[in-house]
């Protein structure tokens, strides 16, 4: 930013050597003033030769420098597990990754932390709800449109092949509802066109509540929201046998309970980030990713073991992963670049993989015997498409929308420091 000294550099005259005590009026010398000038010169030289660190607190410095990549890695790996889980479901092997849906709750916790990091200060200074929601829609909408377009195209091909033109008209209404972030009223299920869209709707509602009620959201109020949402999740476990019952009209409230619990838990973690134990900084990011991945293979789709696994993850492990990821460092430096790529592509991967999973289902029905290999290729292709969509479509479109809709704003404010609010936004 021109005209302002950057925090990381000390502010000093452009050429302190030109400043000399003798340049001050010598007709009536003031010994004290000259001594003060001399001391100032010494301080300026010391500052130039030995600039002070940006953060005196090493833990804070570590957090500022390293938490971006760690949380990117968590989000990227989480997106791949969700995609692979949907792939195995498509070929009739839901138990291959029993807890494939739990990464979505991690997305919500990451989103709460990331959005607080990006906007908490701006909201406290009076950012309007409209301004906040513009940024959220710019962040989320391009990939939503692309995902719905891809799903609609796949559905049209299916209807043409099956000669089922009667479903074309309902498809049009599904597209309209999807573009408005709404469930498809009148359909048999809330999100017939793109199943994962439930998480985007629920998270956008949580974002809106956060912005509208920011000044009322004291820690006590946020804790109450987390507690009530947690009680709703326990109720869902007793009522449906799982917290993953989000595909029907009668259970749509479960999705909101999952989002509200994890999103506002992430907000609390951010607000109390200075209390994160220093020991977490010693946990390599790669270890967090491995532990997270292994946890998802604990068996069970319903029942006591599955409910205990889900409750422990959502209430404890997911918040701990966010807290640890906010201060941890990569053990292998080369993995930093990969984690950044995975983090950037995570939301496009999440938004675009659904049409491909429908083709997997057709493959499983055909009985080729190559279903598991197909899931591997499906996951890899989804990751590749997500990366290309992030680089070639999502980022350029968001930059264009930012210039048009927020013309006088600093573009960097659109992208949270932690890259996210990509649900999988992010994002998700």
Last residue of a domain, one of 52, 71, 94: 52
Other C-beta atoms lying within 10 Å of the C-beta of residue 64: 14
CA 74 – CA 287 distance, rounded (Å): 11
**Is residue 272's pLDDT more than 50?**
yes
Q: For residue 368, what pLDDT is reported?
A: 63
CA 150 – CA 156 distance, rounded (Å): 10
**For residue range 194-233, what is the model confidence (pLDDT) as tens digits?**
888 999 999 999 999 999 999 999 999 999 999 999 999 9
CA of 31: how far to CAs of 19, 25, 34, 43, 72, in Å? 17, 11, 5, 18, 58
Give the mean pLDDT of 298-321.
92
- DSSP helix/strand/coil, 238: helix
Number of domains in the chain: 2
Residue 119 counted as domain residue:
yes
Q: Are residues 10 and 84 in the same domain?
A: no
**Is residue 47's pLDDT more than 80?**
no
CA 307 – CA 298 distance, rounded (Å): 11
Give the mean pLDDT of 258-273.
97
Q: Are residues 116 and 180 in the same domain?
A: yes
Last residue of a domain, one of 18, 34, 52: 52
Q: Are residues 78 and 155 in the same domain?
A: yes
Per the model's pLDDT, the better-predicted residue between 336 and 173 turns out to be 173
pLDDT band at 307 (very low <50, low <70, confident <90, very high): very high
Let me know how long the chain is.
428
Domain that holds residue 12: 1-52
CA 256 – CA 267 distance, rounded (Å): 16
Structure tokens at 169: 């008209």
pLDDT band at 164 (very low <50, low <70, confident <90, very high): low
Q: Are residues 326 and 347 in the same domain?
A: yes
- DSSP helix/strand/coil, 426: strand
Residue 424 counted as domain residue:
no
- Choice among 40-54, 267-281, 309-323, 386-400 with the minimum mean pLDDT: 40-54
Q: Are residues 171 and 35 in the same domain?
A: no
Residue 186 counted as domain residue:
yes
Q: What's the pTM value of the predicted model, to 2 decimals?
A: 0.79
Last residue of a domain, one of 52, 69, 90: 52
| Chain Cα centroid distance, residue 293 | 18
Q: Are residues 39 and 73 in the same domain?
A: no
Q: How would you class 1 by CB atoms within 10 Å of its CB: exposed for 0-12, middle for 13-18, buried for 19 or more?
A: exposed
Q: Are residues 1 and 79 in the same domain?
A: no
> Are 74 and 325 within 8 A, CB to CB?
yes
> Are 117 and 423 within 8 A, CB to CB?
no
Q: How would you class 21 by CB atoms within 10 Å of its CB: exposed for 0-12, middle for 13-18, buried for 19 or more?
A: middle
- Choice among 215-229, 233-247, 326-340 with the minimum mean pLDDT: 326-340
User: For 426, phi and psi rounded to 5 degrees?
Assistant: 35, 20
Q: For residue 361, what pLDDT is reported?
A: 67
> Are 269 and 293 within 8 A, CB to CB?
no
Residues 6+ apart with CB under 8 A from 93: 371, 372
Q: Are residues 13 and 143 in the same domain?
A: no
Residue 425 counted as domain residue:
no
Residue 183 counted as domain residue:
yes
Residue 136 counted as domain residue:
yes
Q: Are residues 30 and 167 in the same domain?
A: no
CA of 295: how far to CAs of 93, 134, 310, 314, 427, in Å? 18, 37, 10, 12, 21
pLDDT band at 46 (very low <50, low <70, confident <90, very high): very low
**For residue range 107-157, what is the model confidence (pLDDT) as tens digits?**
999 999 999 999 999 999 999 999 999 999 999 999 999 999 999 988 888
Q: Are residues 29 and 136 in the same domain?
A: no
pLDDT band at 380 (very low <50, low <70, confident <90, very high): very high
Q: Are residues 140 and 273 in the same domain?
A: yes
Q: Are residues 136 and 229 in the same domain?
A: yes
Residue 351 counted as domain residue:
yes
Residue 39 counted as domain residue:
yes
Q: For residue 367, what pLDDT is reported?
A: 60
- DSSP helix/strand/coil, 305: helix
């Amino acid at each position: 930013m021109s005209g302002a000294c950057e925090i990381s550099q000390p502010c000093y005259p452009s050429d302190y050597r030109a400043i000399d005590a003798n340049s001050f009026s010598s007709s009536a010398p003031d010994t004290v003033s000259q001594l003060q000038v001399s001391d100032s010169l010494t301080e300026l030289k010391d500052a130039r030769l030995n600039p002070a660190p940006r953060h005196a607190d090493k833990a804070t410095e570590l957090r500022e420098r390293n938490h971006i990549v760690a949380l990117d890695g968590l989000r990227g790996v989480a997106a791949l597990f969700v995609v692979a889980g949907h792939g195995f479901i498509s070929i009739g092997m839901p138990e291959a990754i029993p807890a494939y849906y739990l990464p979505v709750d991690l997305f919500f916790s990451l989103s709460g932390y990331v959005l607080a990091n990006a906007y908490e200060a701006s909201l406290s200074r009076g950012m309007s709800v409209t301004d906040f929601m513009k940024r959220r829609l710019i962040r989320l909408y391009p990939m939503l449109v692309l995902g719905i377009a891809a799903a609609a195209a796949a559905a049209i091909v299916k209807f043409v092949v099956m000669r089922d033109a009667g479903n074309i008209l309902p498809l049009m209404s599904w597209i309209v509802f999807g573009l408005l972030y709404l469930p498809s009223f009148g359909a048999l299920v809330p999100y017939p066109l793109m199943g994962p869209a439930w998480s985007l709707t629920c998270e956008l509602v949580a974002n809106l509540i956060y912005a509208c009620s920011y000044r009322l959201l004291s820690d006590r109020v946020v804790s109450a929201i987390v507690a009530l949402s947690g009680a709703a999740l326990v109720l869902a476990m007793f009522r449906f046998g799982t917290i993953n019952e989000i595909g029907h009209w009668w259970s749509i409230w479960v999705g909101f309970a999952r989002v509200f619990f994890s999103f506002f838990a992430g907000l609390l973690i951010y607000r109390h980030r200075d209390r994160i134990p220093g020991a977490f900084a010693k946990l390599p990011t790669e270890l967090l990713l491995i532990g997270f991945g292994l946890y998802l293979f604990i068996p069970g789709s319903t029942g006591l073991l599955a409910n205990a696994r889900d409750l422990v993850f959502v209430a404890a492990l997911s918040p701990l992963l966010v807290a640890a990821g906010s201060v941890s460092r990569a053990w292998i430096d080369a993995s930093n670049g990969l984690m950044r790529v995975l983090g950037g592509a995570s939301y496009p991967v999440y938004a675009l993989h659904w049409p491909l999973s429908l083709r997997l289902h057709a493959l499983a029905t055909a009985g080729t015997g190559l279903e598991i290999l197909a899931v591997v290729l499906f996951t890899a292709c989804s990751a590749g498409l997500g990366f290309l969509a992030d680089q070639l479509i999502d980022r350029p479109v968001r930059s264009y929308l930012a210039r048009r809709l927020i013309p006088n704003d600093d573009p960097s404010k659109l992208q949270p420091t932690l890259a996210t609010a990509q649900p999988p936004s992010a994002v998700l």
